[in-house]
């Protein structure tokens, strides 16, 4: 299988301080892959290496089946989209004019501008200069720019960090639609719910090392305690095991019409990260 991204024994050292330590992972075509970790864990460094903005110290990094340094070729760069916290916009230009410049760079029809601005809920602001926009609005313009040319591979570094819940949900819908159309997405975030909602697989990154990598559901099962929580109509909440004793208890409450809710006790991604590292994702 040809992976969209393949990383083997990747390390990155800054002035004798190691930022990434022997990292290994592969990303399949059409996948939404999440790199989950707190600030300072190495997520942004990883994105910069994968987009050829930063040279790694050792190991190998392949994108589209060839060395990541080939992304410096202009034709290869047109195959990817990037949203990072340093994705600068031209403050004195309007939103539309910013995107028009990138249409020319990517050979994209200007009619695409209104399409992407509508997707990120900024169509009504297209004639507004960027310097007049809020931080969250600028973030949405940057996302619009990143998806303007419908890239094969999209890199997102904390894409919704400055957005309110409504706009965050809209952006998630845009990303799902883009992914359904074939775009592979690499998502770097410390938002556990965002990773839960969007990602096919996630990797926990801590101090430059990947601690776990799997689907969200598989991770929850692996780190769960195999108990079931039952809520009763009298307000009581009880945990029972998935065994004969637990089954009899559940049946008894059901027969007595006392059972209100029942669900498995699965940890959140945040719970798992704390279990592994002793610290939160924030």
The fraction of the chain above a pLDDT of 90, given in percent, is 54
Strand partners, 80: 153
Task: State the pLDDT confidence band at 224, using cuts at 50, 70 and 90.
Answer: confident
Query: 207 and 129: one domain?
Result: yes
Q: What is the mean pLDDT of the chain?
A: 89
Residue range 172-196: mean pLDDT, rounded: 91
Query: 237 and 173: one domain?
Result: no
For the entire predicted model, the pTM comes to 0.86
Strand partners, 66: 63
Task: State the pLDDT confidence band at 282, using cuts at 50, 70 and 90.
Answer: low
Residue range 251-255: mean pLDDT, rounded: 86
Question: How far apart are alpha carbons 170 and 149 in whole angstroms?
Answer: 19
Query: 48 and 107: one domain?
Result: yes
Angle subtended at Cα 95 by Cα 49 and Cα 180, rounded to the nearest 5 degrees: 55
Task: State the pLDDT confidence band at 205, using cuts at 50, 70 and 90.
Answer: very high
Task: State the pLDDT confidence band at 154, using cuts at 50, 70 and 90.
Answer: very high
Domain membership flag for residue 200? yes
Query: 256 and 145: one domain?
Result: no
> Does 236 have pLDDT greater than 90?
no
DSSP 3-state of 82: strand
Domain membership flag for residue 125? yes
Beta strands in 16-63 (DSSP E): 17-27, 32-36, 58-63
Question: How far apart are alpha carbons 154 and 181 in whole angstroms?
Answer: 12
> Does 1 have pLDDT greater than 70?
no
3-state helix, strand, coil in the chain (%, to 5): 40, 30, 35
Task: State the pLDDT confidence band at 86, using cuts at 50, 70 and 90.
Answer: low
pLDDT at 281: 62
Domain membership flag for residue 274? no
Domain membership flag for residue 278? no
Query: 253 and 191: one domain?
Result: no
Query: 125 and 197: one domain?
Result: yes
Q: How many domains does the chain fold into?
A: 2
Report whether 155 contacts 6 (CB < 8 A).
no
What stretch of H or E contains 157? strand 153-157
CATH number at residue 118: 3.40.50.300
Report whether 154 contacts 7 (CB < 8 A).
no
Query: 91 and 229: one domain?
Result: no
Question: How far apart are alpha carbons 236 and 231 in whole angstroms?
Answer: 6
Question: How far apart are alpha carbons 267 and 224 in whole angstroms?
Answer: 6
Domain membership flag for residue 276? no
pLDDT at 159: 85
Domain membership flag for residue 157? yes
Query: 11 and 62: one domain?
Result: yes
Query: 174 and 234: one domain?
Result: no
pLDDT tens, 125-150? 999 999 999 888 988 999 999 999 99
Domain membership flag for residue 273? no
Tell me which residue range forms the domain holding 246: 225-265
pLDDT tens, 94-114? 999 999 999 998 899 999 999
Angle between helix 165-180 and 135-147 (nearest 10) = 0
Query: 93 and 211: one domain?
Result: yes
Query: 231 and 202: one domain?
Result: no
pLDDT at 54: 92
What is the token pair recorded at 77? 């760069």
Domain membership flag for residue 281? no
What stretch of H or E contains 201? strand 201-206
Task: State the pLDDT confidence band at 87, using cuts at 50, 70 and 90.
Answer: low
Query: 174 and 244: one domain?
Result: no
**Rounded to an integer, what is the distance from CA 70 to the centroid of its chain?**
24
Q: Which residues contact 275 (CB under 8 A, 6 or more apart)?
A: 223, 267
């Amino acid at each position: 299988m040809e992976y969209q991204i393949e990383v083997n024994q990747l390390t990155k050292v800054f002035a004798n301080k190691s930022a990434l330590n022997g990292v290994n992972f592969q990303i399949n075509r059409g996948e939404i892959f999440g790199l989950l970790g707190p600030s300072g864990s190495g997520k942004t460094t990883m994105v910069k290496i994968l987009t050829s903005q930063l040279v790694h110290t050792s190991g190998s990094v392949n994108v589209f089946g060839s060395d990541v340094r080939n992304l410096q070729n202009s034709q290869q760069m047109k195959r990817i989209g990037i949203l990072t916290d340093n994705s600068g916009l031209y403050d004195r230009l309007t939103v539309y004019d910013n995107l028009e410049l990138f249409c020319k760079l990517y050979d994209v029809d200007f009619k695409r501008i209104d399409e992407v601005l509508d997707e990120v809920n900024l169509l009504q602001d297209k004639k507004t200069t960027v310097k007049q926009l809020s931080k969250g609005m600028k973030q949405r313009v940057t996302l619009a720019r990143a998806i303007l040319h419908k890239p094969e591979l999209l890199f997102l570094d904390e894409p919704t960090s400055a957005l309110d819940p409504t706009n965050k949900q809209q952006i998630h819908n845009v990303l799902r639609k883009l992914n359904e159309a074939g775009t592979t997405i690499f998502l770097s975030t410390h938002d556990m719910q965002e990773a839960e909602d969007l990602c096919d697989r996630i990797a926990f990154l801590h101090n430059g090392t990947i601690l776990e990598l799997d689907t969200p559901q598989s991770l929850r099962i692996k780190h769960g305690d195999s108990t079931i929580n039952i809520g009763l109509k009298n307000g009581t909440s009880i945990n029972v095991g998935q065994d004969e004793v637990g089954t009899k208890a559940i049946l008894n409450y059901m027969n007595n019409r006392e059972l209100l809710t029942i669900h498995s006790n699965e940890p959140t991604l945040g719970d798992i990260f704390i279990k592994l590292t002793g610290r939160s994702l924030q």
